[in-house]
Structure 1
Amino acid sequence: MEFTRVGKVGLRGAASLCPFHAGHRNYNSILIVPNGGQWGEWGKVESCPKGHAYGFSLKVKTEREQGVIDDDTSLNGIRLHCSSGGVVQSTVGPWGEWTEVKECPRGYLVAFALNVEAPKGPADDTAANNIRFSCGDGVILEGESPTFGTYGQWSKRCTAGAICGIQTKVEAPAPGDSTALNDVRFFCCD
């Protein structure tokens, strides 16, 4: 089977919406950033059954120097840890290990910024590499992942409530150069 890279599709900026259905929850806004990677397909929206996300963990392939060992992908997945118990995730790439949970000391996740490496042409691409979240009380949490790119601008904050759902854009394994996770959207619930 041959995989091809797909051009960027999806929302631009931030969208505030009337209540809509995400997974099995209603949400009031979607948090997005403009610097997501261009390859892959959007997975299913998944959301906490109740409550909000108080923390996160990442699935990362941990090369220390880009290009040294075969194909670098860095960020492969993001899990939200829910106040109602359990975790939710959208599509996840096949490489790497899950990091320890980063938790808001008080409150929930309300905004994010994504670290992305710009396309490198024929060289080894990694796309999304790391993420930062802002907690409702202003505390900033950052993932533990190799950082080959740069952080873009922060998303808007949840207009009400906090993050309760996730949707990731992941490139399937491809011969030669795979990027895994490219972009992410978060859904806010009251």
Structure 2
Amino acid sequence: MARRNTGPTPATVELVLKRDNRICRRCGCEVYGERGRDWVLHHRRPRGIGGTRRPETNYPSNLVLLDAVCHANVESQREVSYHDGFLVHQYDDPERTAISVAALGEYRWVYLYADGTEGPDHPHERVTVLDGRFQQASPSVIERLFAYHADKLAAAAESASGLVEAEETYTEEAA
């Protein structure tokens, strides 16, 4: 019987390698060599023995690049790994669980998103516009967004009224 492939697609692998800049996210060292021997795409929420049928298991938000030594440490120091976001419980969503990653000799907390990007904001704090409607946005983000655009519209209206006044003055002078 053929072995079932339960890992990420080649496109997802490339997306994660690009997001992580081919750097181990735990120690910050460059990874090179052979996948599975020298480095791995670690599943933050483990697949389990025999894999899983949950498609989000292989989303970029659940995958992180680790060198072989850091991967062994993540698997052997599970309590610390859960605290740092390198492991996520089965009932938790990796996209909603921050991870402490190495970046330029420092550590910072980020969220890994399913679209292959990362950022400092919780997914509910991100605003996505689909079909002209806001998706995945908390009320505070929407309020801030509308306040920002209201200020921009007010400034544009004030500027436009100034242009109208200037045009009226120019028209009167020309007459």
Question: TM exceeds 0.5?
Answer: no
Looking at secondary structure, tell me which structure has more helix per residue.
Answer: 2
TM, length-normalised to structure 1: 0.23
Looking at secondary structure, tell me which structure has more strand per residue.
Answer: 1
Higher relative contact order (CA 8 A, sep 6+): 1
TM, length-normalised to structure 2: 0.24
The structure number with the bigger radius of gyration is 2
